[in-house]
């Protein structure tokens, strides 16, 4: 009889809650990862740095497990079908895993749970990717918070009361001892290498110490760039929260935003394709395809917007301040549906995370909960003046800046601002 530990977005051996408890409570634990065909099929570009990253991370975990006399079982397919086949191959008594709160993940886990139950096996799930999961931080009436500040206050109080500690020294002797099982190559799962570098998994305490002063300046290395590691769990959020609590609460506050948006999505799964505030779905988006293309390519003639889009296209990363500016520009200056921008980001961002991406876009478009009021339209020039005064970031990403090769603005700021205000106002008055 064996127990499986099912890795998903928790690709690490240290401080991994579900794995820790599997090894504490069961014997013959065999770790498993499934390249989920349902997810991979949706990725149009087969050169995807995130898939490449997951693959590389799994190879590393597999080597580490093999040094302990065990291995990592890596499958490619639809999770239910993979489990149906594993149940015929192994005598599985339980599956341990860490909870995932996205709508698709919840459905998938429910289906797998039913399948396992039919065969007399149990699915045990644990909290791992967050400090507090959706439902743990509620207001006085037991409802979810719609506003961030009271949510974050409650979160911080609870964090200070609860001793959230990383888990140490898992009981490795309960791993199934077995010879290595080969894993499929990147090509075998339908993908190719990209050459895009992944920001290293280093917790730079100097950056976190100065975070409140440096985080808004895109030309500086003033944020951690650990987004992808939080996304795939190659780093533990408990470890980062501890560092934040010790060094800089502004940084900790950003980790709380991450959990706020996860909570919003869990309680309001409709936000995946609808405005959180339904009236905002009445906005008649212009959705001009040429303007959208100019935005995607970083050719709007607004340097701070274009620099951001080029950074994204080249590296899979964009600084948070610039994400806010480009998202505001797309939705307000160009009146293009936030869902178009959201899905472009979803394709390109290494740290793409459904909840934060949706939350960030709905914030910028003013359609979200606790969003920017609709009449606030970022002025790209004053944002540049405040956050990239020396034009260092702009010049880095736009080599032709200042020459006649650089395009003229595709829309006049004053005109666009007035048009946005009028369009939003009219739609909301209906």
User: Of 16, 70, 194, 357, which one interacts with ligand FAD (CB under 6 A)?
Assistant: 357
- By the 8 A CB rule, do 29 and 23 touch? yes
Based on the shown chain and the rule CB under 6 A, indicate whether residue 360 belongs to the binding site for ligand FAD. Answer: yes
Contacting range for ligand FAD; rule: CB under 6 A; set: 69-77, 164-172, 220-228, 385-393? 220-228
CA angle 77, 78, 82 (to 5 degrees): 75
Q: Report how far residue 262's alpha carbon sits from residue 268's, in angstroms, rounded to the nearest whole number.
A: 10
Token digits of residue 385: 């003046």
Q: Which is nearer to ligand FAD, 356 or 384 (CB)?
A: 356
| Measured CA distances, 345 to 68, 286, 338 (Å) | 39, 20, 11
254 is annotated as an active-site residue: yes
Q: Which is nearer to ligand FAD, 352 or 401 (CB)?
A: 352
Q: Which is nearer to ligand FAD, 176 or 241 (CB)?
A: 241
**N-term to C-term CA, the chain:** 63
- By the 8 A CB rule, do 44 and 268 touch? no
363 is annotated as an active-site residue: no
Q: How far is the CB of 337 from ligand FAD (least distance, A)?
A: 14
Q: Report how far residue 194's alpha carbon sits from residue 282's, in angstroms, rounded to the nearest whole number.
A: 40
Contacting range for ligand FAD; rule: CB under 6 A; set: 12-20, 75-83, 110-118, 355-363? 355-363
User: Of 19, 94, 296, 349, which one interacts with ligand FAD (CB under 6 A)?
Assistant: 349
Residue 104, annotated ligand binder?
no
User: Of 106, 254, 299, 347, which one interacts with ligand FAD (CB under 6 A)?
Assistant: 254
Q: What is the size of the binding site for ligand FAD (CB under 6 A)?
A: 27
Q: How far is the CB of 216 from ligand FAD (least distance, A)?
A: 10
172 is annotated as an active-site residue: no
Catalytic residue among 133, 171, 174, 257: 257
338 is annotated as an active-site residue: yes
Contacting range for ligand FAD; rule: CB under 6 A; set: 94-102, 117-125, 321-329, 372-380? 321-329
The 3-class SS string of the chain reads: CEEEEEECCCCCCCCCHHHHHHHHHCCCEEEEEEEEHHHHCCCCCCCCHHHHHHHHHHHHHHHHHHHCCCCCEEEEECHHHHHHHHHHHCCEEEEEEECCCCHHHHHHHHHHHHHHHHCCCEEEEECCCCCCCCCCCCCCCCCCCCCHHHHHHHHHHHHHHCCCCCCCCCCHHHECCCCCCCCCCCHHHCCCCCCCCCCCCCCCHHHHHCHHHHCCCCCCCCCCCCHHHHHHCCCCHHHHHHHHHHHCHHHHHHHHHHHHHHHHHHHCHHHHCCCCCHHHHHCCCCCCHHHHHHHHHCCCCCHHHHHHHHHHHHHCCCCHHHHHHHHHHHHHHCCCCHHHHHHHHHHHCCCCCHHHHHHHHHHHCCCCCCCCCCCCCCCHHHHHHHHCCCCHHHHHHCCCCCCCCCCCCCCCHHHHHHHHHHHHHHHHHC
Q: Report how far residue 94's alpha carbon sits from residue 31's, in angstroms, rounded to the nearest whole number.
A: 12
Residue 267, annotated ligand binder?
no
Q: How far is the CB of 224 from ligand FAD (least distance, A)?
A: 3
Based on the shown chain and the rule CB under 6 A, indicate whether residue 224 belongs to the binding site for ligand FAD. Answer: yes
- By the 8 A CB rule, do 19 and 31 touch? yes
Contacting range for ligand FAD; rule: CB under 6 A; set: 43-51, 183-191, 217-225, 288-296? 217-225
Residue 255, annotated ligand binder?
yes
Residue 257, annotated ligand binder?
yes
Based on the shown chain and the rule CB under 6 A, indicate whether residue 249 belongs to the binding site for ligand FAD. Answer: no
- Site mask for ligand FAD (CB under 6 A), range 74-113, x = bound: ----------------------------------------
285 is annotated as an active-site residue: yes
Based on the shown chain and the rule CB under 6 A, indicate whether residue 353 belongs to the binding site for ligand FAD. Answer: yes
Residue 175, annotated ligand binder?
no
Based on the shown chain and the rule CB under 6 A, indicate whether residue 264 belongs to the binding site for ligand FAD. Answer: no
Q: Which is nearer to ligand FAD, 125 or 250 (CB)?
A: 250
Contacting range for ligand FAD; rule: CB under 6 A; set: 68-76, 189-197, 320-328, 394-402? 320-328
User: Of 320, 379, 417, 421, which one interacts with ligand FAD (CB under 6 A)?
Assistant: 320
Cα 111 → chain centroid: 24
Based on the shown chain and the rule CB under 6 A, indicate whether residue 356 belongs to the binding site for ligand FAD. Answer: yes
Residue 86, annotated ligand binder?
no
Based on the shown chain and the rule CB under 6 A, indicate whether residue 230 belongs to the binding site for ligand FAD. Answer: yes
Based on the shown chain and the rule CB under 6 A, indicate whether residue 223 belongs to the binding site for ligand FAD. Answer: yes
Residue whose CB is nearest to ligand FAD in the complex, by number: 360
Q: Which residues are catalytic?
A: 254, 257, 285, 320, 338, 361
Residues annotated in a binding site: 211, 251, 254-261
**Which positions touch ligand FAD (CB under 6 A)?**
215, 223-227, 230, 254-255, 257-258, 261, 320, 323-324, 327, 345, 349, 351-353, 356-357, 359-361, 364
């Amino acid at each position: 009889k064996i127990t499986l530990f099912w890795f998903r977005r928790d690709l690490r051996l240290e401080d991994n809650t579900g794995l820790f408890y599997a090894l504490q409570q069961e014997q013959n634990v065999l770790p498993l990862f499934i390249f989920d065909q349902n997810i991979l099929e949706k990725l149009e570009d087969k050169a995807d740095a995130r898939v490449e990253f997951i693959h590389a991370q799994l190879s590393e975990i597999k080597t580490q497990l093999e040094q302990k006399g065990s291995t990592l079982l890596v499958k490619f397919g639809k999770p239910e079908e993979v489990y149906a086949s594993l149940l015929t191959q192994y005598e599985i008594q339980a599956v341990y895993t860490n909870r995932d709160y996205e709508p698709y993940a919840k459905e998938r886990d429910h289906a797998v749970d039913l399948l396992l139950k039919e065969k007399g096996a149990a699915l045990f799930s644990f909290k791992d990717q967050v400090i507090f999961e959706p439902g743990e931080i509620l207001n006085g009436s037991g409802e979810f918070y719609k506003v961030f500040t009271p949510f974050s206050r409650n979160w911080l109080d609870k964090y200070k009361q609860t001793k959230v500690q990383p888990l140490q020294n898992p009981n490795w002797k309960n791993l199934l001892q077995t010879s290595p099982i080969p894993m499929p190559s990147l090509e075998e799962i339908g993908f190719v290498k990209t050459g895009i570098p992944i920001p290293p998994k280093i917790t730079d305490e100097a950056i976190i110490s100065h975070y409140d002063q440096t985080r808004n300046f895109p030309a500086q290395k003033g944020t951690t760039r650990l987004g992808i590691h939080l996304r795939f769990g190659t780093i533990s959020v408990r470890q980062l929260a501890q560092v934040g609590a010790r060094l800089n609460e502004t940084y900790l506050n950003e980790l709380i935003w991450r959990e706020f948006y996860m909570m919003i999505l869990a309680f309001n799964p409709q936000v995946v394709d609808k405005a959180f505030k339904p009236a905002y779905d009445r906005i008649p988006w212009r959705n001009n395809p040429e303007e959208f293309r100019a935005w995607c390519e970083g050719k709007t003639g607004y340097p701070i917007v274009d620099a951001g889009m080029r950074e994204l296209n080249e590296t899979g990363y964009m600084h948070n301040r610039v994400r806010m500016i480009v998202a505001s520009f797309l939705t307000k200056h160009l009146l293009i549906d936030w869902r178009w921008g959201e899905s472009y980001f979803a394709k390109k961002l290494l740290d793409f995370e459904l909840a934060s991406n949706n939350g960030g876009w709905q914030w910028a478009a003013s359609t979200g909960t606790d969003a920017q009021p609709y009449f606030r339209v970022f002025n790209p020039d004053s944002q540049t003046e405040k956050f990239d005064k020396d034009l260092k970031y702009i010049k880095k990403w736009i080599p032709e800046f200042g020459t006649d090769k650089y395009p003229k603005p595709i829309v006049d700021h004053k005109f666009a601002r007035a048009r946005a205000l009028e369009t939003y106002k009219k739609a909301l008055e209906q």
